[in-house]
Structures are given as C-alpha cells and as structure tokens.
Structure 1
Amino acid sequence: MTSIHLLPKIPILFFSVLCTLILASCDQQQTTNTTTETDDELRKKANELAHTYIITDGHIDLPYRLRNKMEDVSQKTAGGEFDYIRAKEGGLDAPFMSIYVSSSYQKSGGAKALADSLIDMVVKITKDHPDKFALANSPAEVKQNYEQGKISLPMGMENGAPLEEKLENVDYFYKKGIRYITLTHGKDNFICDSSYDTTRTWNGLSPMGKQVVAEMNRVGIMVDVSHISDSAFYQVMQLSKAPVIASHSSCRHFTPGFERNMTDDMIKLLAAKGGVIQINFGSTFVDSASRKQGDLNNKHMADWIKQNNLSPDDPKVEAYEEEYMKANTRLSDVSVVADHIDHVVKLVGIDYVGFGSDFDGVGPTLPKGLTDVSFYPNLIFHLLKRGYSEEDIRKICSDNVFRVWNEVEQIAKESQQKS
C-alpha cells in the first residue's frame, strides 16, 4: 500500500525541493545587502520592529519551571528567563508554553495527570492576571490579544507520553488548548524513537505513532519533530498531510553528529512541505565547541547521579546541575544564533524559519546577548545588520509560524468535513 502511493510522489517532492532552493537563492540576495545605517540607528529600529510586529516563540518551559518553584510572573521575577515585565521589554507577544513531561513518566505513570496540571497552571495565570495574559488557540486569537495589549499563552505539549497510548487523547488535549505535540523527548516512547536514545525501538515511528500523526492532522494539532530520531522525522514527513514544525531545534551543519538538530536535507524537506524550523537559542545547540563541552557535562551529570543513587527528577540533581553548569558551560554569542537563521534562509528561503528559544529550558547555556525574553531586539538587530528587510523580520517573528498553524487548522477542518 505504501509503495503504491510513494512512487508518484517522488518527482513531485524533487520538484518542490528545487522550487524551494530557487526561492531561497532569491531570498538570500535580500539578506546579503549591506546597510548604511549606524549600529545605534539599527538598534533603535530593531527595538521598534520588536514592538511593532507580533513575536511568537515556539518553546518556553515556564510551566515546568513554576512547578519546581512558583513565582508571580506578572511581575519581574528573580529567577528564570520569562516574566511579563521582561517579555514586554523584548516585544514577546505569543510564547508557546511548553507542557513538558519527562520521559521518566513513561515508566512511572502519571504523564497525563502531570500534563493536565501544567495546563491548569497556564490557565490559572491567565485568570489571575486577565489584564496581562490570555490563552490563544489560533493566530486570530493571538492577534486579538495583541490588540488589547495582552501576552498570549498558546500551549504545546513536549513529549507525547501524556496520550498514554489512547488515540482519543489527541482530541482531548486539543480541546484542552494544546496546539502542537513534540512526539517524544529524551527516550523512545510508544509513538516513536528519540534523537537522544540509542535503542531505536521502532526504527522511526511505531504503528501507534503513525495513527497519532494522522489523528493530529485530523484534529488540528501541529506535529513537532524536535527531539525525534532522523528515521522518525522522514516517516513523519511521508505521512503527514499538513506541514510540520520543529519548535526548538537548530542546524546540525554547525554541530556535526548532534542528532537533536536538523541536517540540511531535513530542513529542505521540511520547507518543501511548508514547515518551519524555530531556532533553539541554547549554546550547546548552536555552537560545536559548546556542544562538546555540553557532552562532557552530561556525562559528568549521569555519573554523578549514578554515584549518588538518585533519580534524574530528584530536586538535589537539579540544584547540583544548575551550579555545575554555571561553572562548566562554554557560552556562545547571539551572533551565532543569527548564523543559524542565515543558514536556513540560504538553504530554503525566508519563509521557513522562526524563534524557538527554549528559555527556562536550557538555563545557563543561553548565549551572550540573548539571556532572557527581553533580548529579542538584540537578535533582530543582528539580522538587520546583515541586511534583512523589515518584511523578513516580520516573517521570522511570527508570520511563518502563523502560516503553518493556520494551514494545519484548515487541513483539519477539511478532513472533518469529509468524514
């Protein structure tokens, strides 16, 4: 059945990729223009654009951060990288709240209950501060909230474990406000293999995982390919009827061998099917030297956890890891994050890249000049300095992601009308 449908699609796919590359070449001519404006003028312009265009970010781990230590994010907080004050300063309007569920819950149970509690937490923030925050289940709702001066809190679920092997839970979480699902996290699960796991349980998607992708298409949840193995990615791209996102991934071109990032071939295929890669800001994602140091740090942490007979979720582990990482992390620079955006544009064009910071998730590995949600203007400044146009900036800030989000919703609507 698969081979019958695959054969006629091959030339179409090649044609799509070719068209994408041609458009990328045209777009790159825009981004290599030199600018005559001074740095001060460009910084002022960057700040103005950050507060003129809607900025969405594909992945911010606020809920899990607050689960460990509750803070009032309507005020400037002492910890973390996100709060209302700094978000407004940086022009952030629609950060996707990550409903993160650790892979450990795949063994212990309770994944769905944890996801529900984190969703409830996000809802409570909007109810406690209705003048500052609001839920958003579509780009249209984000725009409505923006016009009212509110920060939207759309939600994406990191790890499909909370589906708990029940297909009906895809619709359940859609109704709860989940608008993307990262299929797995640090370990293989019942949906697919993880880029961080060497077990290769399914060599890609499981039979159940293929049904999950189809059901996500049907209900209107974006498929997020961050964290999944390369084989799983290519199977998703073959099966999904809707464009997909990588909510917080960067380019493997700069970090050879790091499967968590995307290869050039993967980025081209993602774009050919209309998807978007949202660049992760973490130093270990954008810089090979930082990546190598990160690997050493991870080995040290794994050894330390084993020597002390602790669970990875033990609070002692988090406290020790925070201090150890601060002392042993090699930091990159905001300009390197701009390099990743440049690389995507050179490969496939301006329409397929966005922001996916991983704020509150990568902690002390954030690069210099991009350490919390107040710094988006600094990244925009570096893009303007490289000759990106205002239209380019608008697309990167939100238009590209909104296009995918709307198309996923439209495909779901058409699918439901046919059934």
Structure 2
Amino acid sequence: MTEAPKEPRKSTRDRIAEAVIRLVSRSGTAGASVRRITRAAGCNESVLYDHFKNKAAMQRTVFDELIDRRNTMYASVVERNTGGSARDLIRDWTRTTLESFDEDPDAFAFVGLTSPSVIADDPEHVREVFDQMRSHLAGFETRPDEQIDASPVAFAIAYKILLGAAIEIHAGTKEGPSAPLAEELAGILIALLVRPAGAPPLVTEPEPPIGAGPRQGIHCPEFMREDSTRGRLMAATTRIVAKNGVEAATVRAISSLAKCHDTDLYSKFRNKQSLLHTVHGEILEHWYEMRSDFGNAGDPDARVFIENWAKGALLAFDHEPETYAYVLLTYPPVTEGLLDSHAFNIANGIRVFSDLTPPPGHRIDLSPQNYLAFRSAMIAIPRAINAGLVVGPAVRHTETLQRVACRILLRPTD
C-alpha cells in the first residue's frame, strides 16, 4: 500500500507568522508576547530575530502580507466579473469576503487588531491600503445603465457593514459561519453602492467646513470629568488606548498620565484588564443613557427618529472622539466579559425601534443581520475619521448617514 505523500514542513518563518496571527487574534497584540509566539512556533527567540527586526516589525510585515492576500482576492473578484453587472460584482465581493473569513477568521481578526498600531506609526500607509481596496470597486467598468459609488465615505460605510458580521462572530456575539449571510448583506450593499446611471448617489461628499467643530466636554462620560484617582486612571486609559491602541496602555503609562502610582491602580481595580473592562462598560452605559438625546424620544415617527439618532451619533463622536476611539479599538480584545451587556444593549435598541411608526408604505426591518448593518453604519464614519481615511468633523456627513440609516431600516412593504 502506497503511503500518501507527507506535506512539506512549513518554514520557521511561516510558523512564526501563523503563531503571531493566531495569538494576536485570540489575545490581542498585548497578549502576543515574543515568548508566547516562539513557543507556539516551536523555535527560540533568537530565531525570530533572524527573520524580523522586532515584534513591531513582525506584526507590520504580517499585516502587509495579509492585506496583499486580500487585494489579490479582490482583484480576482473584479476579473471574473468583467463584462458583468455591478450588482453581480457586489454579490461576489460580499460572498468572497465572508467565505474568506470563514476559512481563516484569525487572519481577519489580526488585521483589525493590528490596524491601530499601523495607524499610529504610519497613517499614510493605512490610507494607501484603504485606497487600494477601494480601487477594486472604483475601477470596475460598469454597464452603461449603472454606476458604482466607491467614494471614501461610501466605501468606508460599505466595508464596515461587510465586516460587521465577521467581527461579531469573532467576538462571540453572533453565531457563525458568516457566508450564509452573504445574500442579505449583498442586498444592503447594492442599495448603498450601486445606482442607475444619472441617479443621485446615496452617499455624498460635502465640502470640508472651516474649523474642526466641537471636540470635547459635552457628551463625555462622567469619569472623564472626575478628579478622583479612579476617574483619572479611567480617563488616562481612555486617552492612551484612543491614541495608540491597547498595547500602549501599560500600567506604568496609565499611572504616569493619571499622575499617580502603580499601586493606586491596583487599589481601585483588580488588574489592568479589569480597568479596561470597566472603562469599556461605562462608556457603553453612557451611550445607552444618551439615546434619548440621539433621537426625538417623544416622536414615534420612525424616519424622524432614525435621522435624529444618526445626527446625534455623529455629534457625540465630534464632542468626545476619545471615548468612541476607545470602544472601536478595544472591541473585541477586552469585551469577553461584556457579552451579556452587549446583547442587552442590542436588545434594547431593537425594542426602541420596534415602538416607532414607519412611514406609509414602509416597514421597519429589524432582522438580526439588518440591525447589525445599521449598527455598523453608525460607527463607520467615526471609525474612518479616527483612522484618517475620511475628513471630519463627523457631523458634516449627517445627511449621508441619515439616508443610509433610513435605507437600511425602512423597507417598502410591496
């Protein structure tokens, strides 16, 4: 009997790359120490430095390789749809992305979790990556009767919606696999990106206003204004993570910015992870309390409520971008203990929208996938501004987000 040929042994470099992807995706960048990486790869630390200058260089190299792989995948999508319709392209783009996530969720998570450090170190590179991925749709030669809107804002919203399901599945707040969601998700993205030739776009690019608009103070959580040791520690954690990501939030860095000793942190919180959880949870609780301001609580008209909700979300980001950035950068690395709270938050949001009155001839679509698309759209513009991909302040994009939100949630009944 002939034995099946053995697969060739992977190179040390490939084993290191696989180890860092797996560890970062499951423990965050801070949890992927050089010692843990080399142990998982089955090599010595000195061998790692034969292949990479340091841990940061290793993560950046792997990040770029995964992005190259994704761009190759998207180029193939465009190639096999050449001569076809824009709608078929978006369906294929959606399905291929979700199938790729299902095949290798760790790789998708790695890119998301290492993006903050890449943004901090080389924001221009992040813009190049964003424009590369956007170019696959922007450069597609459509049929004469249709157009694709792949402006930075439109693509930022679409891509956040597309990856929303993958992020939720990886975080444990949604059951996988993601590929079965492709058809419903593609319908949402087609409505956002594809239009008949000559029709006005759903997403518009407003002229940049003079000045940056209001930035801090009005909507921030209580702890950001406290002068107590606990409040200063939480505020310092928020600012460090918002600026440089979770990995930069060491006990020493937090204590130094809060102007206290390391021992003060441990007297107020069980450990650093507990501090990260507490900040995340209190920000989410604060946002929930603000929801009455996001929409006109006394107006049951669904369109009015949704439009006010969208405007309020963007205003909140402009007033306190650090808390928004904190949640964006700590989800999912620190939220394993907050899954019940997260589910409660979603359920309450659905309940609020369920009580509204839709316009004549419409219904409010609160299916799980559709509501996830709505939530993803709400944070897409703040996320893009935080990454330097879209010009702020966020409130200048109010009309666009209002149209997108209404298009997602309000569906014709016929």
TM-score (norm 2): 0.30
Which is greater in Rg? 2
Structure with the bigger percentage of helix: 2
Q: Which has the higher contact order (CA 8 A, sep 6+)?
A: 1
Structure with the bigger percentage of strand: 1
